[in-house]
Amino acid sequence: MELGTLDIKEHLLQSSEEFRRLAQKHSNYDEQLEKLLHKIFLSEEEKVEEVNLKKMKLHVKDQMEIMIQKYRQQAAKQAGPSK
């Protein structure tokens, strides 16, 4: 039986320090972005910061997705071929 992505994320949050670190970074970037997006006017520096935060958030999300895919592949190997 294949695990869902949410199940895998929950497992990795509990078992992987690296995944927890990435999830925390993702959350921090998201909070910083939210603060910027609630401003009526952004300075040029803030616009650059917004773009950089979005890039960093996406990079962390990609790293987390790689870990999820690796876990899914390992779980599939351990389950063996299904018929």
Q: Where are the beta strands (DSSP E) in 1-83?
A: none
pTM score of the predicted model: 0.84
Note the pLDDT tens digit of each residue in 25-63. Answer: 999 999 999 999 999 999 999 999 999 999 999 999 999
What distance in Å separates the CA atoms of residue 22 and residue 65, rounded to the nearest whole number?
10
> To 10 degrees, what angle do helices 5-15 and 17-37 make?
110
Predicted confidence (pLDDT) at residue 2 exceeds the cutoff of 80: no
Report pLDDT for 55. 98
> 13: which residues sit within 8 A by CB, 6+ positions away?
19, 20, 23
Q: What local confidence, expressed as pLDDT, does residue 75 receive?
A: 87
User: What are the tens digits of pLDDT across the range 5-30?
Assistant: 899 999 999 999 999 999 999 999 99
